[in-house]
Amino acid sequence: MKATIKLSPVIAGCMKWGQWGEKFTTQQHLRLIEECLDYKITTFDHADIYGDYTAEQEFGNALKENSSLRRQMQIITKCGIRRFTPNKPENKIHSYDTSKEYIINAVEKSLQNFNTDYLDVLLIHRPDPLMNPHEIAEAFIILKQQGKVLHFGVSNFTPSQMDMMMTAFDIEFNQVEISVIKLEPFHDGTLDKCIQHKIRPMAWGALGSGKLHIEDDENEIRNKRILAVANLLGEKYNAAPDQILLAFLLKHPSGIIPVMGTTKIERLKSAYDATRISIEREEWFMLWRASMGHEVP
């Protein structure tokens, strides 16, 4: 049984809303949440470690101000990373923990942070070299039976790690880095695996995490090629270059959902509008060629 949850076609990534970025107040959180919902951006992406374990609670404080918003949205969060920070003195080093006890305790804390009694989606944040898929599955089954988590997935998992996980539990999502400058998922089996098992991919860094616009780096020539094509296609589709780069991801048959890490509602709206653009196959390969620096074989 695969994912039946309906997520918005663009996901608002909340990593930089709080202490790791804009340091929004509760009212600023509330305003941006409401603006997203008004524009039908209903899915919000978190992780327990964001803001050194503060971002979930800051978002939850905004939901406490208007509890009716919770029913209008889907909350994604992640666990499995133990981050060394003053907020978690019990963590002695950066490490991973995907034990049954840790996952269940992390979810309980996230529920408390968000002021909610359920999470829409829980992801294992990164592959743990010590992970036991059957133990993870035990935690997922308990959380599902208790109604505390509705849907499950992974993040940054390779195809073989996805296979291993699926020996024990039917995962529904894999959130990985995908963009016009991060093409590996298109040919390393990651997106093939998603299609094969009806796993929905989410793309973090969907616009290259700002790397497309860095000057004087080793990839400057590649970046200029990509932006030249994006500008050319932008003229045809009356679209911004960033919208064309999102349309590149959206063209893929696996159903990639971009996770947008911006804190600006204008950029979130622009990303949502990009979901209406359908570039042609040859145009998709123009962007591919610009990124790779050569024709397809």
The pLDDT tens digits of the residues spanning 159-209 come to: 999 999 999 999 999 999 999 999 999 999 999 999 999 999 999 999 999
Measuring CA to CA, which residue among 252, 135, 243 is closest to residue 201? 252
Which pTM does this prediction carry? 0.97
Q: Tell me the pLDDT band of 2, cut-offs 50, 70 and 90.
A: low
Catalytic residue among 39, 50, 96, 272: 50
The separation between CA 179 and the C-alpha centre of its own chain, rounded to angstroms, equals 12
Q: Where are the domains of the chain?
A: 11-177
- Averaged over 29-47, what is the pLDDT? 98
Give 76's strand partners. 45, 121
- Averaged over 85-107, what is the pLDDT? 96
Give 177's strand partners. 204
Question: CATH homologous superfamily for 11-177?
Answer: NADP-dependent oxidoreductase domain (3.20.20.100)
Q: Tell me the pLDDT band of 135, cut-offs 50, 70 and 90.
A: very high
Active site residue 272: no
Distant-in-sequence, close-in-space partners of 189: CB < 8 Å, separation ≥ 6: 158, 159
Q: Tell me the pLDDT band of 76, cut-offs 50, 70 and 90.
A: very high
Q: Name the residue with tokens 């291993």.
A: 164
Q: Tell me the pLDDT band of 1, cut-offs 50, 70 and 90.
A: very low
Q: Tell me the pLDDT band of 3, cut-offs 50, 70 and 90.
A: low
Q: How confident is the model at residue 100, as a pLDDT?
A: 98
- Averaged over 262-268, what is the pLDDT? 98
